[in-house]
Chain A
Amino acid sequence: MVVTRHTPSLRTHAGLPAEMEAGATASVEVRLTCADGCDLRGAVIELTTPQGEHGTCEVGWVEDPREGAQGANARFVVTAPASTGEAEWTVRFPTQSVSGVPHEEHALVLESTVVPHATSMAIWDVPSPLQGTEFAVRVGVKCATCCVLAGQVVQVLDEAGVVVGEGRLGAAPLAGTDALYETLVALRAPERPGMGSRRVICVPGDLALPHHGSSGTFTFRSLPPPEHTVTVRIVPEGTEASMADIEVRLGDYRAHTDLNGVARVGVPRGSHELSAWRVDIEPISSRLDVSGDAAVEVVAVPRRVVDEDAERWG
């Protein structure tokens, strides 16, 4: 007696993404059908991972209103390997009898490219240093999937590509962030005043999973040393608000006001733009020529609320 085997078919219903980050997981759903219309519930499906590991899954039943159809299905959660490159998972319906009816083997190969984790960088607290002096910047690096990056090395390169500073990311993420690991990198300003640019790189290594490197650039302006002190008093007009702790700028030179609304800003000789702003006052802006120590008063008026309904007359 010749035993006729039925022919099953596997197809992907919810497949793998084209790219998966190393170690990432993804759900896969396959649909199983028999050309002869058998109910394949209870059949066993095997999954072989890229690492050669095997697992099994029992076929269930799904009613899919989107397709207006019913069918046998199996769901897997797969984990991308730690190594990058093309990866294959084999879903196999082994030869087996379902409800007493023999069925042939059928296999389906799922593919995805395993890629390193993405990282990204932030650089902050970049000052305008005085020429020829030490300064520092903060660098933070974040893995897109929040891997621990503690201890990773950050390097700062000058315009010629020479490493001019280095730091190691701290043990814990910066407060208020998801997983931004930071470090302080000490640097030295050029001997001459002017604009400078630095490149920062971080290529994570010695991690359980591969990571792409990240980089960023920052600019700064190294300043000539101050020669004179300008005392700026902010005088409130039409407001009772304290004028303390307002940042006063004379170009790139800055200071904050004290409780009396007074800031003392050291500046070199020359013409400087005086500016100050706080959320409750209108911006202050004027031009100041400095040839020696000086004292100026500027008036702060309350912030004007713009009401376009009332503003327009025409």
Chain B
Amino acid sequence: MSKDTPPSSISRRDFVRTGATAGLGATALAVAKDPVAAESQQQAWDMTADVVIAGAGVSGLSAAVEARDRGASVIIVEQNSDCGGHGIVSGGRVNLGGGTSRQRRQGVEDSADAVFEYWIRPDDLESRFTDRDLTRVFADLSAETFEWMVANGVRFEDEVAGEDSRNGRTLQWPVYEELITSEPTRRGSGLVRALEKSARAKGAQILLQHSMAELVQDPGSKRVLGLVATTQGRRVRIRATGGVILATGGHTSNVQFRRMFDPRLTEEYQVAGEPYSKQTADGEIAAMKLGAAVWGTASQSMEAGNWISKTAHIGCQWGYSSLHWQPDSPIFDKIRASGLTNVNWQNCILVKQTGVRFHNEMDGGHDFFAACFAWSGDPNKLNGGGPIWAIFDADAVARQEWDPRPPNVDPDGWFFSADTLSELAGRIRNPYQTLRMQGSTLQQTVSRYNSFVDSGTDGDFGKPTPQYKIQRPPFYAAWSTPILHDTLCGLRVDTRCRVIDLQGQAIAGLYCCGEAMGGFPQHGLGRCSLFGRVAARSAAASA
């Protein structure tokens, strides 16, 4: 069980508010003794709410709904022009179980204890490094959060997925709500839009295109009083009487930040979910300026989990397997290309920016990623592995039934073609290509690979029975550099989602949830919503 005080218990702030109900005089007395009120009187605020939330993704919207349910006024600032964050462009996977009504109806036995034990397994890398205090909270609130989602209008597919849909493995998919891209349907939109609708209906105020610029902390008490947001060049100071909740998403788009956990993750690695929204680490950075600790970093650097993927769609900037952008996407002008998909890696070789092969193309595990990250030979770029290019020929195009033209490919730096391999190498230009690929090198690489096709054995990297030569013009080079995805560590929080500093003390008035929070590195949106609710309960109780 949690060793912290449960959020439902009466806090000091509840006591003050209870006292204030006695009458006006009592209220004035309470305000005078209330450090938040006293400190805030020294500040000039443009807006005030009990709970101020940075980020209108799944965790922020969940926090907003929960806070409103508890009577707190809510303002959300969202830097994007629409709600949703990464959640709206996600597959919508919701790992919540522990004995939901749906599980019971389908005869699936599950319990909070089973969920807990599943997510702390020592024999599994993804659960080995979890913070067990947070895992216990997740387990205890898992079923309840599922019912809460349903009560707030989230519709789920009528299935409980998974080969063994219990013991914490339960996965449930929301019903798709709106077009993000038609294939595959992005079910995260169903979760986001339902929560947004509920939050708005309950009175949460959502300020779009408002970026959190900084947190405002009282210099004396160190309590977080609110935040400053910027919009159209204007600064807006927003007071939070109960607390600020950081629901800003993760950090994978921030190269400097992500390299704290793995120096190899240099700038060439793109991020799934971009360019709809970026995982900029602004919540983490703002809190760290106040002394917040980062937590659960082993989860970010472990060689497991969904923090990186082999590209499934090549020749475009963003090739995450489960996010195949189609021209019908309302943001396709930013995406620019869908990519060539259904890749059978027997049809391609993968080369570094120098034009040399480096690994068995059929592999997609962490040995493959490590080989991608290995030094490319650029003396001026020792970290990161540089771009990875898939090289193939006209025969491969025919076998794959590809059409290597826009909008399937992006010739503006992510896809190239030429009549000969030597010319192809010379044409490759990309913002992350730090070396010129030499035509002779690529030609030698392909000749050697073709000899492996003849011999039936890959003498360099053990690709199982290389099947097809790369020989018929024209030849192609398609961006195939691994793509980053999940943020699996973040700010340290306690079981009430209070942000904890390096001395192990809570930073008063500051809460965190979602991908900005460390300690529970689950892939998907279940944890985002659940801990958003926990943060909201705590902040609302302090208002």
Measured CB to CB, the residues of A under 8 A from B are 120-126, 128, 140, 142, 144, 174, 176-180, 195, 197, 214, 216-221, 249, 251-252, 273, 275, 277-279, 283, 303, 305-310, 312-314
Contact = CB atoms under 8 A, between A and B. Distances in A.
Interface string B408-431: 000000000001111100000000
B421 A122 contact: yes
A310 B91 contact: yes
Contact of B306 (A273, A306, A312): A312
Contacts of B439: 120
Contacts of B450: 126, 218-219
A56 B170 CA distance: 81
A126 B471 contact: yes
20 contacts: A120-B421, A121-B420, A122-B419, A140-B420, A174-B473, A219-B454, A273-B456, A273-B465, A307-B91, A307-B184, A308-B306, A308-B320, A309-B90, A309-B523, A309-B524, A310-B91, A310-B171, A313-B163, A313-B169, A314-B304
B449 to A, nearest CB: 10
A218 B451 CA distance: 8
A273 B124 CA distance: 36
B443 interface: yes
Interface in B353-398: 393-394
A217 B447 contact: yes
Contacts of B342: 279, 303
Interface string B245-284: 0000000000000000000000000000000000000000
A180 B473 contact: yes
Given A122-B419, A309-B93, 11 more contacts: A123-B471, A124-B393, A128-B454, A144-B423, A179-B419, A214-B422, A219-B450, A219-B454, A251-B456, A277-B344, A309-B92
Given A124-B473, A180-B473, A275 B467 contact: yes
B238 interface: no
B321 A310 contact: no
B322 interface: yes
Nearest to B187: A309
Interface-central residue, B184, B469, B524, by most chain A CB under 10 Å: B469
A303 B399 CA distance: 14
A125 B471 contact: yes
Interface of B: 90-93, 124-127, 161-163, 169, 171, 184, 304-306, 309, 312, 320-322, 342, 344, 346, 393-394, 399-401, 419-423, 439, 443, 447, 450-451, 454-456, 465, 467, 469, 471-475, 523-524
Interface residue SS majority, chain B:
loop
B443 A216 contact: yes
Nearest to B304: A314
A313 B162 contact: yes
Contacts of A144: 423
Contacts of B304: 314
Give the 3 A-B CB pairs with smallest separation, nearest first.
A309-B91, A120-B422, A120-B420
Given A178-B419, A313-B171, A195 B473 contact: no
Contacts of A214: 422
Contacts of A308: 306, 309, 320-322
A195 B419 contact: no
A27 to B, nearest CB: 21
Contacts of B171: 310, 313
B465 A312 contact: no
A279 B399 contact: yes
Contacts of B467: 249, 275, 277
Given A128-B454, A219-B454, A313-B169, A140 B184 contact: no
A177 B451 CA distance: 25
A109 to B, nearest CB: 30
A155 B467 CA distance: 28
A275 B465 contact: yes
B473 A177 contact: yes
Nearest to B422: A120
Contacts of A221: 454-455
A199 B443 CA distance: 13
Contact of A314 (B93, B126, B420): B126
A306 B443 CA distance: 32
Nearest to B173: A310
Nearest to A181: B419
Contacts of B454: 128, 195, 219-221, 252
Contacts of A219: 447, 450-451, 454
Contacts of B321: 306-308
B419 A180 contact: yes
A177 to B, nearest CB: 4
Contact of B346 (A252, A277, A278): A277
Contacts of B125: 314
B521 to A, nearest CB: 10
Residue among A121, A179, A307, A314 with the highest chain B CB neighbour number at 10 A = A314
Contact of B401 (A174, A178, A279, A313): A279
A273 B171 CA distance: 40
A121 B125 CA distance: 49
B523 A312 contact: yes
B419 A142 contact: yes
B43 to A, nearest CB: 43
Contact of A122 (B126, B456, B475): B475
Given A125-B471, A177-B474, A180-B420, A306 B162 contact: no
Contacts of B322: 307-310
B492 to A, nearest CB: 23
Contacts of B346: 277, 283
A301 to B, nearest CB: 15
Nearest to B474: A177
Nearest to B322: A309
Contacts of B163: 313
Contacts of A312: 305-306, 523
A282 to B, nearest CB: 10
Contacts of A217: 447
A216 B92 CA distance: 51
A27 B224 CA distance: 62
Contacts of B465: 273, 275
A257 B401 CA distance: 18
Nearest to B456: A251
A180 B475 CA distance: 12
B420 A195 contact: no
Nearest to B127: A314
Nearest to B399: A279
A123 B469 CA distance: 11
Given A218-B447, A219-B454, A314 B472 contact: no
B312 A306 contact: yes
A195 B457 CA distance: 12
Given A122-B419, A251-B456, A308-B309, A279 B127 contact: no
A161 B459 CA distance: 26
Contact of B472 (A125, A195, A220): A125
A144 B455 CA distance: 33
Most A Cβ at <10 Å: residue of B422, B450, B454: B454
Contacts of B523: 309, 312
A195 B422 contact: no
Nearest to B165: A313
A313 B171 CA distance: 8
B324 to A, nearest CB: 10
